[in-house]
Structure 1
């Protein structure tokens, strides 16, 4: 099969189109013929090996080279074969899921519990935009933010991959949503159902202490500023933050969590890599999608051969919603 293999840390040109052997599924795995995948910050952080401090923390970053050689955390495609212990899928099924790696290839093996039937009505490209970003938003909004009727949720970074899903999911659960984004994205975010949209170039964060939860996808404002928007018993949910070569966003994560014992609000972290993206969550997202409450927002779609260019574009940080690859 063809795959983009990461030979060493570097820019998008470090992704090399290569012919390699097609993987064979283990007993609990499904071999998926990839029809679409998506690009996200997780991919280019692994590609560049940044922040450098993360190389000491394990995961997909090795000290001198990447442990994950084929990037691509989201997939949508068709089941090609199943492992001996798999009973829920059979060849020909259309599926989507989050293997955390391997999507930048024509075939990938995915654990059966990380897959679900593709939502009806979605293209493969739309389905590939969902798993990691929407799954992260679901955990932040539903589980940690406890969105529901009578609760107010603030989403900072509302126009990106996670943010566009967070706005829609919060509304689907009945919350009142305030969304923060840049000037060129206000109409988009308003169309997703946000009750109030704040252009951060013209207006500061709310300081009324009226929000029950703040989902901070962008992570560019000091925690002290973010806390002013929250009720005394509110929750601050850090999802991401501006990157850097040496420490950030890891430094911001540790610095934010270090404040937790000393402030009245609850401070939590949604880890887009280690949080549970289970089949049950994929099925929940499917239900929201099929009833029209959630729709993937796709900025650009690239052909498989242009994956390095797609990663370069996503790395610029200006994508509205998701960047998707057709395989």
Structure 2
């Protein structure tokens, strides 16, 4: 089969389209004919081996998983002897990052427990755009952020992969949503259901005078300390993504500036979660959440797709088609 192989840490230039052996499913796995995958920041981190501390788990000299790709949508080709939920021909989707990645290929194996039936109202490309970004958004809002209906929510990086799902999920959970994005992306973010939209190049969101109960930061272009005056007295700031420096700042300094009864500053590590993906799937099937796809690239152009994502100009998700 054809696959995009990452033989060593580095830029997208290290990626190669190669012929490799088609994997065989283990007893609890299914073999998937990949119809679509999507690019996430996790793929970029694995490709570059950054932050450096992750190399302790992902390989000191090179990536433990040579084929990137966490999100997958496709058809089941064959199943292991212990698989009971799927059979050949079934259409599935899921986040396989803790199964060894591997979605940037024509075929991949994954444990049945990590997969769900694909929503019938979504294309393969739309389904592949969902798992990691949507679950990350949900866990930031409802888990780390403790979102309640009626609260005022500020979402930074609202036009990106995680942010575009966060806007829709916050609305579905009953919040009043203010979305922050760059010039030229306001109409796209409004189409997702945002109640208010701020262009960060024209207005300083920390000086609007409007307090928020929850800030979900999927952009991390400012210090967490800038948002103290933007939170309500009991509000929560949650860092969902961004630069390595921003992540470490939130991790190390967040607890120091948080108050036991007042404002809280948090970050979190999102993991594949079948229960949370099931919740998102129900909203997808009800039409309350719709994946927004920026661009699609063929498998052979994964390096260009990653460059496009790392340029941070995307609207929604970047998808790979096989």
Alignment correspondent of 1:68: 65
Alignment correspondent of 1:231: 232
Alignment correspondent of 2:280: 285
- Greater CA deviation, 185-194 or 22-31? 22-31
Q: 1:178 to 1:256 in 2, by over 3 A?
A: farther
Alignment correspondent of 1:152: 152
- Greater CA deviation, 71-80 or 231-240? 231-240
Is the aligned partner of 1:270 residue 2:268? yes
Distance 1:262 1:172 in 2: 29
Q: Residue 97 of structure 1: which of 89, 94, 102 is its match? A: 94
Alignment correspondent of 1:176: 176
- Aligned pair count reads 317
Q: How far apart are residue 250 of structure 1 and its match?
A: 4.4
Verify the 8 A CA contact 1:148 1:170 in the aligned structure 2: no
Distance 1:147 1:168 in 2: 13
Distance 2:253 2:186 in 1: 28
Verify the 8 A CA contact 1:136 1:270 in the aligned structure 2: no
CA RMSD across the alignment: 1.7
Q: How far apart are residue 41 of structure 1 and its match?
A: 1.6
Q: 1:106 to 1:256 in 2, by over 3 A?
A: farther
Q: Structure 2 unaligned runs (5+)?
A: none
Q: 1:278 to 1:200 in 2, by over 3 A?
A: same
Distance 2:227 2:253 in 1: 11
Q: How far apart are residue 79 of structure 1 and its match?
A: 0.8
Distance 2:257 2:108 in 1: 40
Q: Could you give the per-residue CA deviations for residues 35-94 of structure 1, whole angstroms, max 9, x where no partner exists? A: 000112211221122233443xx332x222111211001000001122222211111100
Distance 2:129 2:46 in 1: 19
Distance 1:305 1:65 in 2: 22
Q: How far apart are residue 211 of structure 1 and its match?
A: 1.2
Q: Structure 1 unaligned runs (5+)?
A: none
Is the aligned partner of 1:294 residue 2:295? no
- Greater CA deviation, 144-153 or 18-27? 144-153
Q: How far apart are residue 242 of structure 1 and its match?
A: 2.6
Q: 1:107 to 1:256 in 2, by over 3 A?
A: farther
Distance 1:268 1:283 in 2: 25
Q: 1:238 to 1:76 in 2, by over 3 A?
A: same
Alignment correspondent of 1:134: 134
Match of 1:184, SS state, is coil
**Map of 1:1-327 to 2, 5 A cutoff?**
1-55=1-55, 58-60=56-58, 62-100=59-97, 101-207=101-207, 208=209, 210-243=211-244, 248-261=245-258, 264-272=262-270, 275=271, 277-327=272-322
Q: 1:260 to 1:107 in 2, by over 3 A?
A: farther
Distance 1:20 1:147 in 2: 45
